[in-house]
Amino acid sequence: MVHAVKRKLTTIFCADVVGYSRLMGVDEHGTLKRLKECRELIQAFIERHRGRVVSWSGDAVLADFSSVVESVQCAVEIQRELKAQNDTVPERERMDFRIGINLGDVMIDDHDIFGEGVNIASRLQSLATPGGILISGSVHDQVKNKLALGFNFMGHQQVKNISEQVPVFVVAHDVASSIPIGAVSIGGAPAIALKAPGLMPLRMVAGTIDGLLACVLAFALAVALQGAMGPVFTLDAPFTWIASERTLSSDLPSLEIADGGETSRTTVRSVVERNYTGFLTQTYRRTAAEVKKNGSTEVQIREALLDKRGGREISRPSLWMAAVAIYFLVLVLSEGLLMRGASPGKLLMGLRVSNVNGGKPGLIQATVRNLSKVVSIAPALLGVLMAFFSKKRQMLHDVLTGCYVHDAK
């Protein structure tokens, strides 16, 4: 009796460890322990995305998925998680995987699958770089409009034992979110899909939060220093928005007439005290002049900070300049040292800064990136606006420093 061969169209997923023999030669026990941990991680991700592990063979895994989109999402999440784990171990002990994915017709024998579709996925996996993902053209056709990922075409590759060349794409999983362009669940709860353009308003909100935090820290610094040393900063806009003021004294107006009566200047000098929500007060001498000339009127106001003890005018740096310096300091330290690429604002908005290699920016890269924001802002915010036309939503300072902002999940 002839046994009928069963066939099906499926997504084939192949992965194996890079340099497995070398790792075993260095530390057999440690490598085996790490491999088992990676196997458990990979299997968990495959099952989460409704895939099926077909077989394990040494350091390699073969799986299949009924959904092409789920298979690519699974591969991206595996590589990101493995990279995060590798960042915590010495380089010589790191275990990198390569992944190849193909959509093809396969033969089924018990629980195993065979055929050209499997061979192509295996060849793609062997061509991938450490930590990389390669997909065939058939996979790319199915996911290119369904996942917010970058795909770089490698051309048509001649792979071993396959007669026709295979169109191959690199999944740029280090420079984009793998969120489906339909709907996404954030924190387990249904939510509106976060498409790539949706990053922009979140970035703006995150930047506003960081700016407000810098203002609060600058104000706290002014309060602390003034209590110990007297006025150290001049509290000007935007801090005047939270101040109430009262007039302590005012001189009588003085009038000057010039140009045969064509020009008149009325000047009023007064001393005012500003109270910043009860935390501190500062006293200013205000000179307000109303100039009338040729039928037009112009009001000129000058203020000078006063030393309360002697009543003399003193010059102090502006607090808004200190707030700008604190803003950059907070971003550099949080993104480059303390919070794995996230400033306080980005952390609240669920965003993170990474470099194009998928790692967090270091202190130097974070410093250069944030100082480069000056280039993005001037002139006319052109460097900011370019993000609306960039596939990776990069502003000019992101491009200059090889970084991008993405969903932290």
Whether residue 255 sits in one domain with residue 209: no
183 lies in a domain?
A: yes
Which residue, 284, 315, 346, sits at the end of a domain? 315
At 220, the amino acid letter reads A
Tokens for 250? 């005012």
CA 31 to chain CA mean position, Å: 33
335 lies in a domain?
A: yes
Whether residue 290 sits in one domain with residue 358: no
Domain count, the chain: 3
Tokens for 108? 């089924």
Predicted pLDDT at 4: 64
Whether residue 391 sits in one domain with residue 360: yes
251 lies in a domain?
A: yes
Whether residue 177 sits in one domain with residue 34: yes
246 lies in a domain?
A: yes
311-343 burial code (b ≥16 CB/10 A, e <16): eeeeebeebbebbeebbbebbbebbbeebbbbb
Neighbours of 24 (CB within 10 A): 16
Predicted pLDDT at 189: 33
228 lies in a domain?
A: no
Q: What is the sign, positive or negative, of the torsion defined by CA atoms of 60, 66, 69, 73?
A: negative
Predicted pLDDT at 267: 92
Whether residue 85 sits in one domain with residue 162: yes
Q: Element (H or E) spanning 18, and its range?
A: none
Q: Please check the confidence at residue 174 and state whether its pLDDT lies above 60.
A: yes
Which residue, 265, 289, 315, sits at the end of a domain? 315
Q: What share of the chain is helix, strand, coil (3-state, %, to 5)?
A: 40, 35, 25
50-54 mean pLDDT: 92
Predicted pLDDT at 182: 39
Per the DSSP assignment, residues forming a β-bridge with 51 are: 65
What does the alpha-carbon distance between residue 404 and residue 173 come to, in Å, rounded to a whole number?
Answer: 12
pTM of the predicted model as reported, rounded to 2 decimal places? 0.53
Whether residue 170 sits in one domain with residue 74: yes
State pLDDT tens for residues 235-276.
Answer: 988 888 899 999 999 888 888 888 777 888 899 999 999 999
Sort 6 into a burial class: Cβ within 10 Å, 0-12 / 13-18 / 19+.
Answer: exposed
Whether residue 348 sits in one domain with residue 284: no
Whether residue 165 sits in one domain with residue 34: yes
Whether residue 263 sits in one domain with residue 327: no
Quick one: pLDDT band at residue 198, thresholds 50, 70, 90?
low
Per the structure, the complete domain to which residue 105 belongs is given by: 6-193
Whether residue 172 sits in one domain with residue 92: yes
**Strand, coil or helix: 60:** strand
Computed over its alpha carbons, how large is the radius of gyration of the chain? 32
Whether residue 188 sits in one domain with residue 84: yes
What does the alpha-carbon distance between residue 400 and residue 286 come to, in Å, rounded to a whole number?
Answer: 45
Which of 254, 272, 273 is CA-nearest to residue 264? 254
User: What proportion of the chain, given as a percentage, has pLDDT over 90?
Assistant: 38
221 lies in a domain?
A: no
User: The domain spanning residue 31 has which CATH number?
Assistant: 3.30.70.1230
User: What proportion of the chain, given as a percentage, has pLDDT over 70?
Assistant: 91
At 164, the amino acid letter reads E
> What is the pLDDT of the chain when averaged over all its residues?
84
Which of 335, 354, 361 is CA-nearest to residue 177? 354
Q: Phi first, then psi: what are they for 330, rounded to 5°? A: -60, -45
E strands present in 68-132: 97-109, 112-114
What does the alpha-carbon distance between residue 367 and residue 345 come to, in Å, rounded to a whole number?
Answer: 17
At 103, the amino acid letter reads L
Which residue, 267, 291, 315, sits at the end of a domain? 315
Predicted pLDDT at 178: 44
Tokens for 209? 């939060």
Whether residue 255 sits in one domain with residue 203: no
State pLDDT tens for residues 317-352.
Answer: 999 999 999 999 999 999 988 887 889 999 898 888
Pairing of strands 133-136, 97-109: parallel
Per the DSSP assignment, residues forming a β-bridge with 61 are: 15, 56
104-108, 186-190, 260-264 — which one is most confidently predicted on average? 104-108
Predicted pLDDT at 184: 36
Predicted pLDDT at 358: 60
Q: Please check the confidence at residue 29 and state whether its pLDDT lies above 60.
A: yes
233 near 317, Cβ under 8 Å? yes
Of 48-57, 77-86, 209-218, 389-398, where does mean pLDDT reach its minimum? 389-398
230 lies in a domain?
A: no
Predicted pLDDT at 58: 83
Which of 170, 163, 157 is CA-nearest to residue 128? 170
Of 139-148, 154-163, 279-288, where does mean pLDDT reach its minimum? 154-163
225 lies in a domain?
A: no
164-174 burial code (b ≥16 CB/10 A, e <16): eebbbbbbbbb
What does the alpha-carbon distance between residue 270 and residue 253 come to, in Å, rounded to a whole number?
Answer: 10
